[in-house]
Chains A and B, each alone.
Chain A
Amino acid sequence: MLAYVLRRLISIPLLLLGVASISFLLTQMTKGDPLAALVPERMMNNPEIVATVKAEWGLDQPLPIRYVRYLGNLVQGDLGTSFATRRPVAQDIAERLPATLELVIVAMVIGTIMGLSLGLLSARFRGSVFDSVARMFALIGSSLPIFWSGLILLYLLSVRLSLVPGTGRLPPRISPPEHFTGFYTIDALVAGDLVLFGQALAHIALPAFVLGWSVTGIITRLVRSSLIEGMSLDYARTARAKGASERVVLVKHALPNAMIPLLTILGFTFAYLITGAVLTEAIFSWPGIGSYAVRAAASLDYPAIGGVTIVGSIAFLLANLLTDIAYAWANPRIKVNT
């Protein structure tokens, strides 16, 4: 177990180096001129700015030295300066990260709850109409273009039915709670402001549901198939022989075993969540790093896109590492040479 975790830990810096190298190569490819990736077009004729940037990133140096300079800047947290906001990309991202994390975490909770309950119920009533409806609901969630389902639900639930508020994290002209975690729901609770908490919760509900729905499919499918498999195994037969009802066998015996495969796909669902978050944030004007990336991509703000990509990859690698560790801990059988 320890050796396995250590091996995974060692691989992380190597993968990060690989990620940084590919990102570096991409900046070198930009319009055939790496300078274009660092200086906005309209500032190209300002010799002072061009000289400063060239010196910082070593653009007058040969490729290997530029590479070392790039890695050096990266290690110090320097991701360049955004063309659009004219501020360090790292600072922009740090400010916007809590909004994205809050959205992704709430979505993950919603997706897991929906996936678990749908999987559980469709395994219990296997072959019934309910089973088909639940699986269809889950499948549609993972097949919908999230930027479209968000739009349509926003129209239906907000514009037509006024059930949920519109876009953004809070109603217009309401100031956010004092910064503590950056999660508006938690910060509002910490400040003891229940009204603000309700508003933050109402605003996050729809985007988090849309995002959570997109991962419900994978979770439902997995939970259902592992439960059905578990119900046919010896331990289930033993439990039945001892007089346990189907419900008890399912919930007390099969369900805990279905949790282990669920752990393995959490890292995988995280990839979906990042993709989904980028697009959801764009639709719901959510001020996180996803909408920042979309804005950056549309306006060809290269340092910003590069920065988000590197930060996103770090998050992705860490999520996968945590998944692996959790899995190794939950299932001691895998401490072998994988």
Chain B
Amino acid sequence: MTHIAHSPTVAPTFSRRMLTSFRQTSRRLPITAKIGAAILLFWIITLLTIQFWAIADPLAMVGRRLQPPSTDHWLGTDALGRDVFSRTLHGSIWSIPIAIVVVASAVAIGSLLGALAGYFGGWWDSIIMRLVDVTVSFPPILLAMSVAAMLGPGLANASIAMVIVWWPIYARLMRAQVLEVKEREHVEAAIAGGASSLRVLRVHVMPLCWTPTLINATMDFGQVVLLAASLSFIGLGATPPSPEWGSMISEGATRFYDWWIAFGPGMAILSVVLATSFVGDGLRDLFDRRST
């Protein structure tokens, strides 16, 4: 009997489709999605290799204070004579890993709770989904601000705050998918074959449920970068002198005339957010036509 329970899932999964037909997939992606992917790749390579670059120290005073952009300092210098261009590139070390951690944690927590709610129903479902309802009753930034403030300023606490804001989205997505997939025949077969509930959920249901979650996670990545920068801008995230994009903009916010201090980090955030929505749109058109 066990061989039925161990039989492979019926439809190809998102990840498997991604791997086996990667070249085919990338050929079918629209040009905007490719540009988006290139921008994201640029930032990832930058953050991994920037310590080897021949570029100004982001924390050291390397020129006169508040110099406008020039050939020496491409994006000028800030109030402490630090190179804004170098600081902007170094900002990726903060912003991008944080967004990855926050999105991954929110996906993990949200999907797990959503899958349990959808599969087992009853009490589980009521408790988890009411918690979701209450969490989404808060305007996101206010919830993030209160959690971050109550836990104390700092990037780690800001990240916890953002996970608290984001997990309900994934719980709802996963629950809806699980509710649909668990009615399919191969699931019935697995249950008849004697597989335990957790095994059915893990092996036969969840692998078929990831598509909307992964597409949403791509789109949310940019929004998390944006919210993390907003929290730092307010003073609840990264603390000076770290070259985080949000806190760099807040250094520029008090100096209207020295526009270049904020220009670089703002463009950096814009590039990441645009890139993720390009890639997310492209993936959605390919894998999930229904939700367009």
Task: Return the CB mask of B141-164 against A: 1 if under 8 Å, else 0.
Answer: 111011111111100000000000
Q: Is the CB of A297 within 8 A of B137?
A: no
Q: Is the CB of B234 within 8 A of A151?
A: no
The segment out of B73-81, B113-121, B185-193, B270-278 that lies at the interface is: B270-278
Q: Is the CB of A148 within 8 A of B249?
A: yes
Kindly list chain B residues whose C-beta atoms are within 8 Å of the C-beta of A317.
137
Q: Is the CB of B230 within 8 A of A147?
A: yes
The reply to whether the CB of A19 lies closer than 8 angstroms to some CB of chain B is: yes
Q: Is the CB of B256 within 8 A of A147?
A: no
How near does chain B come to A155, taking the closest CB pair, in angstroms? 5
- Whole-angstrom CA separation of A282 from B235 in the bound complex: 12
From A15, A271, A283, A316, B253 is in contact (CB under 8 Å) with A283
Q: Is the CB of B229 within 8 A of A26?
A: no
Q: Which of A141-179 contact B (CB under 8 A)?
A: 143-145, 147-149, 151-152, 154-155, 158-159
Q: Is the CB of A145 within 8 A of B249?
A: yes
Known: A31-B152, A293-B142, A293-B145. A151 touches B256 (CB 8 A): yes
Q: Is the CB of A159 within 8 A of B253?
A: no
Kindly list chain A residues whose C-beta atoms are within 8 Å of the C-beta of B178.
none
Size band of the interface chain A makes with B? 35 or more
The reply to whether the CB of A73 lies closer than 8 angstroms to some CB of chain B is: no
From A18, A279, A316, B230 is in contact (CB under 8 Å) with A279
The segment out of A1-9, A38-46, A305-313 that lies at the interface is: A305-313
Q: Which of B61-111 contact A (CB under 8 A)?
A: none
How near does chain B come to A84, taking the closest CB pair, in angstroms? 13
Q: Is the CB of B236 within 8 A of A297?
A: yes
Q: Is the CB of A309 within 8 A of B143?
A: yes
Q: Is the CB of A302 within 8 A of B150?
A: yes
- Whole-angstrom CA separation of A309 from B292 in the bound complex: 33
- Whole-angstrom CA separation of A37 from B150 in the bound complex: 8
Identify the closest chain A residue to B222 (Cβ): A143
The reply to whether the CB of B138 lies closer than 8 angstroms to some CB of chain A is: yes
- Whole-angstrom CA separation of A155 from B253 in the bound complex: 10
Q: Which of B219-240 contact A (CB under 8 A)?
A: 222, 226, 229-230, 233-236
- Whole-angstrom CA separation of A148 from B277 in the bound complex: 19
Task: Return the CB mask of B197-238 against A: 1 if under 8 Å, else 0.
Answer: 000000000000000000000000010001001100111100
Size band of the interface chain B makes with A? 35 or more
Kindly list chain B residues whose C-beta atoms are within 8 Å of the C-beta of A22.
134-135, 138
The reply to whether the CB of B269 lies closer than 8 angstroms to some CB of chain A is: yes
How near does chain B come to A202, taking the closest CB pair, in angstroms? 18
Q: Is the CB of B270 within 8 A of A306?
A: no
Q: Is the CB of A148 within 8 A of B138?
A: no
Q: Is the CB of B146 within 8 A of A143?
A: no
Identify the closest chain A residue to B133 (Cβ): A15
* Chain A interface, DSSP helix/strand/loop, else mixed: helix
Interface centre among A27, A148, A312 (most CB of B within 10 A): A148
From A144, A152, A297, B235 is in contact (CB under 8 Å) with A297
Kindly list chain A residues whose C-beta atoms are within 8 Å of the C-beta of B234.
278-279, 282, 294, 297-298
Identify the closest chain B residue to A28 (Cβ): B150
Identify the closest chain B residue to A274 (Cβ): B139
The segment out of B1-9, B21-29, B49-57, B257-265 that lies at the interface is: B257-265
The reply to whether the CB of A23 lies closer than 8 angstroms to some CB of chain B is: yes
Known: A19-B138, A31-B152, A313-B142. A151 touches B249 (CB 8 A): yes
How near does chain B come to A78, taking the closest CB pair, in angstroms? 18
Identify the closest chain B residue to A29 (Cβ): B150
Kindly list chain B residues whose C-beta atoms are within 8 Å of the C-beta of A151.
249, 252-253, 256, 259, 262, 266
The reply to whether the CB of B140 lies closer than 8 angstroms to some CB of chain A is: yes
Q: Is the CB of A312 within 8 A of B262?
A: no
The reply to whether the CB of B16 lies closer than 8 angstroms to some CB of chain A is: no
The reply to whether the CB of A275 lies closer than 8 angstroms to some CB of chain B is: yes
Kindly list chain B residues whose C-beta atoms are within 8 Å of the C-beta of A309.
138-139, 142-143, 145-146
Q: Is the CB of B249 within 8 A of A147?
A: yes
Q: Which of A223-273 contact B (CB under 8 A)?
A: 225, 271
The reply to whether the CB of A300 lies closer than 8 angstroms to some CB of chain B is: yes
Q: Is the CB of B140 within 8 A of A271?
A: yes
Kindly list chain B residues whose C-beta atoms are within 8 Å of the C-beta of A159.
256-257
Q: Is the CB of A297 within 8 A of B145?
A: yes
B→A interface (CB under 8 Å): 130, 133-135, 137-143, 145-153, 222, 226, 229-230, 233-236, 246, 249-250, 252-253, 256-257, 259, 262-263, 265-266, 269-270, 273-274, 277, 292
Known pairs A37-B150, A148-B265. 13 more at Cβ < 8 A? Answer: A15-B134, A19-B134, A27-B150, A139-B274, A155-B259, A279-B141, A282-B253, A283-B253, A296-B149, A300-B153, A302-B149, A305-B149, A309-B138
A-B contact pairs, 18 of them (CB 8 A): A15-B137, A18-B130, A22-B138, A27-B150, A143-B226, A151-B252, A151-B259, A154-B256, A271-B139, A275-B139, A275-B140, A279-B230, A279-B233, A283-B253, A293-B142, A298-B234, A309-B138, A313-B138
